[in-house]
Structure 1
Amino acid sequence: MYKLEGEEELEFSMLVTMDGNDSLKRVLRREPKDFDNDGNLVPGQSKERFDPRAANVGKDYFIPREKVDHWSKDKLDEWRKVWEARKKKSRRRRKKEGDTKSPMEPTKNGLETSVPSESTPAAQPTPEAPAGAAAGCEERWKNLGEDSLKRMWGIYDETGIFICLCRHGFVLLVEDMVRSGELSKYGLAACAELLEDFDGAVGSGYDVGCGFAGTLFNSPLGAKALLKKFMFLVGAFHGHAHNRLCQLIYLATYVLGLGLEDLEGCERFFSKSNAMAASIRYASVFHRRQILASYFKHFDTNETYANLSKFLVDNYWQALEILEGEPALYLGMKAAGIDDVTEFPRRLEAEFTFLKSLMADSEEDTLHMEYYQRLVNLADRRLKLELTKCKDSTASATVRRHAQENFDKAWIEVQETEVRMGVKERWLDTSPEWAEAAHLVSTKRYRLALLKLERLVVQRMFELTKMNLSQTGYKLRKHIAKALQVRSQAIRNALNSYNTAAKSIVPAGRQLSWSEVIEYAFLADFDLLRKPAELGEVRPWSTPAARLLLDKYFKIQRAREEIRRCNIEIRRVITSIRDEKAFLTAKENELQESDPGLAWCIRRYRFRRERYDLVHMERFQKLAKQAGSGLTGTLEPGVRLRQVIPEPSGMEGVVETGRQEEEIQAQALAREMEAVGASEDEEDDDDDVGGEEEDSKLAEELHTIFIVSEDDPVPLSP
């Protein structure tokens, strides 16, 4: 990262987003299908030849498969066994020494579940938070499902890519998903690289960040991630399909220090990269990687870097526009009877506490509901048995026998439950325990009806989204439209069941109309219905108007944070432009007399970069002119931060971080050019040896200058 001296420290030193995509699949070439010993049809063997070039192409982006497989489920299971054995051994030793407190157990130093507020946000997810917060999200996201559900068709080798971008859109790393869906090993491999390469707190957006945070903190990377304050979050678009409790902890709107970043850059990237699917479906391993690596390089240089200043300026204007709505917030507060803005964090905390209380029924309540239901079943079967024995009954002997057997079975079930609960006197329909259990059962039915309605609405939302996506074929659109018709009737039936259940509880739950359910844009509306309001209880945060006011307040807070971040990043870009120009100009002048050809190449490269840089500076100057006092930062370039690192002799010296990176990149490229030169020497045996060495040296210096000037002075993440 291109940090400057004296700049303000941010809550997140870097923001990234990661996600998987299955559009860029590649068909595995196989022999014709064959039969096994049992006569079953099996796929043929692969007939693809090993291509050594595939390992080198795109290595600046791709993580090798071997490193990804290091985080596979089998390897993690082995690690957990070793860790559990060490943990048991440590416990026995402490027990022997009389120390009952384990250093591995979570304490109140930040490992406990955070209760959201503006100071310890919803914004500070911890290793313990996902255990409850992600409850219910598994059914909504296929990449949170079991691994057995993530197997891909056998005709493919690479079944897609898993990509990580910085918030500006630069490609940081890519992984091939191999014969599988979006497994956890791809996310863990990406986290391992990020934790290795970047210091400071990193915030990572992921559509299943709520559940994957638990996977990360329970892996070998957990301690390092906790030490570096690595945090998984949920993007602004996908986040509204998560349950409300999950949103309060992970949604971008409520995360302290995130600014206006939506963490949905991968979706925008995939909307463009999906166009390559047809061209790589039947390509070789090498050519597929070559196409992807070329596209990533083009995307970084000609799209992301070219629009870097536009991204920052647009975010600045968006933040200023949101801040203009602050007077409207105070008017709304006055109308709602809110005296101080500190009320909003308190309301968020109250909502968190309320929703957390709905996560699961206690074991005692579950037993009471089970006992009540069995008593009801016993009474119902007693009535049916008596009806078969009355004088006017026309029931056959078989029907009477079945009624007697059902009654006996219900009687035994009641007795078993009474033994488990230790009931001394059987409940009657007039006893207070009966009434309390009846209330619990009716509330449970209400929640189940609401859950079914919510699930159908989620499916409808996703199908509508898919139907309106570009490049969705006509047949698929018709298929989705037909499914939506069936879904609409199912939603109507679920709505009727919900309204019936809502009437049966005391006090009665809120009745929903068809138009209300269909127009629900955010699934948080369902979570607020899960527990009917108790008689006389007032929840000021539960009304739609109060929640709009709450979100407006937090958006204003995020807008202020975005301005802080943009001020820092704009100055980083300006400094980087100045430093790169000075570096290239110095190299050009240095080689002007000794090697005019190489100097000309440097000048040509510098002119190409300056075309973008001039546009960047014009945009920043225009922002300063139009925003006036709204621009709180400076356009004056700063000084790149120097880092103190130990020298090989043990003495400490000040070495510029960028210069060290330049040397490493130059050495790596020099080795590549040596290999290229060697292959050319074999082809041109008749050439003069001295001329070959001179040409190889010239090419090596040229490409070294290119890689140094291109990749380092303008950083991927300002």
Structure 2
Amino acid sequence: MQKRKPEKIASGMSKKMRSTREMKTNVPGVRHTHRLTMAQMISEEQHAQAAEQERREILTAQELAAENAWRDEADDYVGQDTTYEQEVLDGSRAADISHAGEAIDPKDADEELLEDLAAEYDYNAAFTKKRRRPDHRRRRDRTRKLVDAFNVQLGALTDAYMEWSSSTGLAASYMSFDDEDVANRIKVVVVDLFSCDLQHIPLRATDEFVASGLIRQGLFPCSTAVAAVAITTRALEVFRLAQLRCPRLGIQAWVRTMCDLHGAPPRPYLGVQFSVAFDVYLAVRAETARRVRVALGRNSPDWRLRNVCPCCTYKLEGEAKDWPFLFTCDGNDSAKRFARKTREQWDDEGNALPRESAERDDSRRAPGDYFIPRDVVDSWAVADEEELAKVHDEDEEKESGCSEKWQNMKDAHTVRAAAVYDETGIFAGLCRHGFVLALVDMVKSGELAKYAFALLAHVCKALGPEIVKLILGYDIGCRFYKMVMRHPRVSDLLQDREFLALVGSFHGTAHDRLCQTRNLPKYKENVGLEGFEGCETFFSESNALAARTRYSTAFHRWQSFVTWAEHKDRFQTYGQLSHTLVTKYRHALAVIAEAPVLARLMSGARLSLLTQEPEEETLQMEYYQALVNFYDASLWESRAQTERGAESATRRFETNRRHVYERESKCLEAVRYLEARLELVERWQPGDENWVQAQVLVGKRRYQLALDKLESLVAARLLELWKMNIPGTGYKLRKHIAKAMQARSKAVRTALANYNAAAAALESPRPPLEWETVVEYAFLAEFDLLRFSRRDVRSEPWAQGSGRAAMDLHFKIKRAKEEIEQLDVEIRRLYTYMRDEDAFLAHHARCLRDSHQPQLAHQVELYRQQHTRFNDEHRRRLEKLGREAGCTAVLKPGTAVSKERGVPTAAQTEETEMADAAHVEALHMAESEVEGVEDVDAEAVADSLELVLRMADDG
């Protein structure tokens, strides 16, 4: 059994007012140590109580309530006779640690020792005759109480921050007021980047809270009411930007850096203080951003996703083609987070007890709309993903099942991870330009289908009916597409849209050849040269967050990912958007420039292939198989009739007889249909010449199908060996292909067994093929078995290196032309977006200033500066591209389909100003007429004035 820890001392003052203990000030880096007598301690306590009483008298009612809730002080227990000694003796309380470092057993302790302990640790009972009260506070709920206390003040804190932001900048650590505005001054330790000192901070009479009074001066407190330490906004902002640019930077490293600058030793509580102030700072910034969105009319739940990428979503009038919305998704298991649990405990028999959660109570959730809630994701869970992805098409059943090789996490690994981690990774969706669509937490599991379902549903719901074509790139797109088409909720969501799921170019190398030709972007129209591998780049950058979120709380993990993703979209992805477009454009032009090479390769090639079997032979074999099924069903019918007397009284017999009859009817219908197609007069019978010939054809067909299957797998294996060994193939791609070949070996063994069985059933049996012979093939020409196919495929153009290069180049050039067309549209969308966004934000900033909202106008102006700082660089890059040969992009703005960013023209503005002037003039005239009339009915005047104002508004 685990030893019980001694309870902590309830009174915070009694904990630090001990002889031989060190006394510390609140100033970080300043420490005074001395020994105090008991009388000095009592005097210090009385002075402290008097100062505390004086401080609490000047607090407002809201601040006093917030402080009491934050402290959660226990009520006095009057009338209790229990003492510290009695609680220790009766076993209801553990004694404190002795000087030897061991817990004192109450049975072995004498009363004199306990009295000495009481005199030293419980000095209130020894000197003030007050009984000790129990402490019912818990450390797990202190975060929730602190958060609740700040939430009550969030509105006032945001007002104070907006006032400070519009009055001064980061160049000034904090601002001061005139003496006539100061109602009180408090002592606060101000922590800045290069200084830390004790200052008397003034508070105005209009300050609703102490915290808001500090924030109005550029100082963020570390607690709600007891503002002993405050950190400057400048220090918090520098840390925020440094952490966004270097996600590995944590609070602990930053606080220690500041301690080095201040020449002070690092303390654990300094990190806690900075973390509290930083959380409040981010919360205030988030509330400020929300107010800006409300002022701009961008506070709808799906506004961000509907406007996530100007090149993808900002449609223009007159576009010749409705381009699909291209996006990609994938899961990453690097962003794990350890689950906080209680320590291990054992029962009396030595068995480990289940560990309970030790997460602190925290009601905060991920800011913004980047994360899809967990309950929404769980609603898309399916009972059996394998059943949902089951294939029923006869042609698709011939595949080797490449999608089944893709397993993000094995079951054994998932079970172990679920016992250690709470979140086992993150699932992300991005548009083709890299903007984040949504993030999903993978909770105690691997990469399940519900995460992709939730992401797809979220995108479809947000984009609305304007986007009618969706193309998703996923590493298991072949499998996921089948699941989407069979999922009832998702299929209903996509009933008015065209949806296609493809396999990324890099991940496609691990799929078999038939899957590649069906699902690789290279072979699909309206995709361009997009490789759908943007998630890999995103995860390579986001993995830097894993180091500091692995042991964090759930909220701080969400907060880290959201703030980083928002900063990446605004300052990295959008900042490099023109560079991305120019790079794609030049790559497409380079591919198109290889058209003469394709012409030379195609000049001597004769690309032909037997795509289907002769129709006459096919009908004869189908008729033979239908006759076999019909005679087999008739045999079952006759057998059932003979067994009727023995089982006529059972339901089973009647059910079987009905099934056999239905089967015979269906087989007879198929026989009659094929007889009409073949124009037969008499039906074939077993043993006839036609029957025997068809039987031989069926045997050969089964052999050919088994050979074709083995041929495709071996050819794919040889081509991948060739790809893995050619110069220029990277290390990661080599490892990827090697793993895929290991997984495909099982499919080759199965196809080899089917081939040997079909070869043995031939009229002239062929020798069996051994596994060792197949794996020794290094070139396609060595595959001697291919000469037994309908045609020797070794002489086909596609089997030659030049033929394969010609086919590959043909599809690349075709996709490159589509890429040029799409980039022309996206470049003009970006040009139009930059013009409309700048004009829209400038217009709203002027309107807010005219409506006497300077603080909100200042925040909108900051928002505008952040969104337009890269526009000049975008125009410079695109204009440079326009001067290159082959560029067909239109480098001037168009007209957007959406009128959301519409700004009144100069004529409309002048007309509005004239209407406002007429409105004011009518108001003055009505007032002057009322002043010249005596004893006028007030209601009649009000009605007349309202009528005049309404007429002015209509004008």
Bin of the TM-score, shorter chain as denominator length:
0.5 to 0.7
1:613 aligns with 2:871: yes
Q: Deviations over 1:412-449 (max 9, x none)?
A: xxxxxxxxxxxx99xxxxx9999997997899699779
- The corresponding residue for 2:593 is 324
- The corresponding residue for 1:70 is 379
- Equivalent residues, number: 497
Q: Deviations over 1:13-32 (max 9, x none)?
A: x1000011100011111123
- The corresponding residue for 2:435 is 170
1:30 aligns with 2:341: yes
* Equivalent residue letter for 1:69: D
1:547 aligns with 2:804: yes
Query: Of 554, 557, 564, which residue of structure 2 is paired with 1:288?
Result: 557
1:640 aligns with 2:896: yes
Larger Rg: 2
Pick closer, same or farther for the CA change 1:545–1:617 going to 2, 3 Å.
Answer: same
SS at match of 2:805: helix
- Shift of residue 335 of structure 1? 2.1
Kept after mapping to 2: 8 A contact 1:309/1:616: yes
- Shift of residue 631 of structure 1? 1.8
Kept after mapping to 1: 8 A contact 2:707/2:789: no
After TM superposition, the structure 1 = structure 2 runs for residues 233-632 of structure 1, keeping only pairs within 5 Å, are 233-337=502-606, 516=778, 533-535=789-791, 539-592=796-849, 594-627=852-885, 630-632=886-888
TM-score (norm 1): 0.58
SS at match of 2:557: helix
SS at match of 1:175: strand
- Shift of residue 619 of structure 1? 0.6
Q: Deviations over 1:38-81 (max 9, x none)?
A: 97646411111342102xx2341010000001011249999x9x
- The corresponding residue for 1:9 is 321
Q: Deviations over 1:280-330 (max 9, x none)?
A: 111100000011111111111121101111111111111111111112111
Query: Of 165, 186, 204, which residue of structure 1 is paired with 2:451?
Result: 186
Further displaced range: 536-545 or 20-29: 536-545
Distance across 2 between alignment mates of 1:561 and 1:598: 45
Distance across 2 between alignment mates of 1:437 and 1:133: 18
Q: Deviations over 1:499-552 (max 9, x none)?
A: x999x96899998897948xx9xxxx9999999643556644443322221121
Kept after mapping to 1: 8 A contact 2:477/2:501: yes
Distance across 2 between alignment mates of 1:9 and 1:559: 16
Kept after mapping to 1: 8 A contact 2:570/2:867: no
- Shift of residue 276 of structure 1? 1.5
Kept after mapping to 2: 8 A contact 1:165/1:266: yes
Which ranges in structure 1 are unaligned for 5 or more consecutive residues?
81-125, 355-361, 369-423, 426-430, 471-479, 643-655, 661-718
Q: Deviations over 1:130-150 (max 9, x none)?
A: 95486421342114x997885
Distance across 2 between alignment mates of 1:527 and 1:35: 64
Distance across 2 between alignment mates of 1:455 and 1:31: 52
Pick closer, same or farther for the CA change 1:157–1:535 going to 2, 3 Å.
Answer: same
SS at match of 1:142: coil
SS at match of 2:338: coil
TM-score (norm 2): 0.45
Query: Of 385, 390, 406, which residue of structure 2 is paired with 1:141?
Result: 406
- Shift of residue 277 of structure 1? 1.3
Distance across 2 between alignment mates of 1:592 and 1:631: 43
Pick closer, same or farther for the CA change 1:233–1:52 going to 2, 3 Å.
Answer: same
Distance across 1 between alignment mates of 2:518 and 2:405: 18
Pick closer, same or farther for the CA change 1:304–1:469 going to 2, 3 Å.
Answer: same
Distance across 2 between alignment mates of 1:253 and 1:316: 17
Which ranges in structure 2 are unaligned for 5 or more consecutive residues?
1-312, 615-621, 629-685, 688-692, 760-764, 904-955
* Equivalent residue letter for 2:832: T
- The corresponding residue for 1:208 is 476
Q: Deviations over 1:71-119 (max 9, x none)?
A: 11249999x9xxxxxxxxxxxxxxxxxxxxxxxxxxxxxxxxxxxxxxx
Kept after mapping to 2: 8 A contact 1:439/1:505: no
Query: Of 40, 49, 56, which residue of structure 1 is paired with 2:360?
Result: 49
Further displaced range: 222-231 or 193-202: 222-231
Q: Deviations over 1:552-579 (max 9, x none)?
A: 1111110111011101111111101001
Q: Deviations over 1:580-607 (max 9, x none)?
A: 1111222333345634554444444433
* Equivalent residue letter for 1:65: R
* Equivalent residue letter for 1:229: E
Kept after mapping to 2: 8 A contact 1:131/1:214: no
- The corresponding residue for 2:462 is 197
* Equivalent residue letter for 1:207: D
Kept after mapping to 2: 8 A contact 1:540/1:546: yes
* Equivalent residue letter for 2:382: K
Pick closer, same or farther for the CA change 1:204–1:77 going to 2, 3 Å.
Answer: closer
Q: Deviations over 1:140-167 (max 9, x none)?
A: 2114x99788554411110101110000
* Equivalent residue letter for 2:835: R
Kept after mapping to 2: 8 A contact 1:507/1:533: no
Q: Deviations over 1:317-368 (max 9, x none)?
A: 1111111111211121112146xxxx8xxx6xx67999xxxxxxx9x99xx9
Distance across 2 between alignment mates of 1:505 and 1:621: 68
Pick closer, same or farther for the CA change 1:244–1:277 going to 2, 3 Å.
Answer: same
- What is the Cα-based RMSD across aligned positions, in Å? 5.3
Kept after mapping to 2: 8 A contact 1:130/1:210: no
Query: Of 212, 218, 224, which residue of structure 1 is paired with 2:486?
Result: 218
Distance across 1 between alignment mates of 2:362 and 2:786: 57
* Equivalent residue letter for 2:370: Y
Kept after mapping to 2: 8 A contact 1:507/1:532: no
Further displaced range: 249-258 or 540-549: 540-549
* Equivalent residue letter for 1:563: I
* Equivalent residue letter for 1:217: M
The higher relative CO (CA closer than 8 Å, separation ≥ 6) is in 1
* Equivalent residue letter for 1:640: A
Distance across 2 between alignment mates of 1:448 and 1:38: 59
Pick closer, same or farther for the CA change 1:601–1:440 going to 2, 3 Å.
Answer: closer
- The corresponding residue for 1:161 is 426
Pick closer, same or farther for the CA change 1:146–1:216 going to 2, 3 Å.
Answer: farther
Kept after mapping to 2: 8 A contact 1:134/1:211: no
Distance across 2 between alignment mates of 1:11 and 1:192: 20
Further displaced range: 553-562 or 532-541: 532-541
Kept after mapping to 1: 8 A contact 2:327/2:472: yes
SS at match of 2:430: strand
Distance across 1 between alignment mates of 2:612 and 2:694: 31
Distance across 2 between alignment mates of 1:134 and 1:575: 47
Identity of aligned residues (%): 35
SS at match of 1:622: helix
Q: Deviations over 1:170-229 (max 9, x none)?
A: 000110000000111111111111221222101000000000111111112113324301
- Shift of residue 278 of structure 1? 1.4
Distance across 1 between alignment mates of 2:382 and 2:865: 50
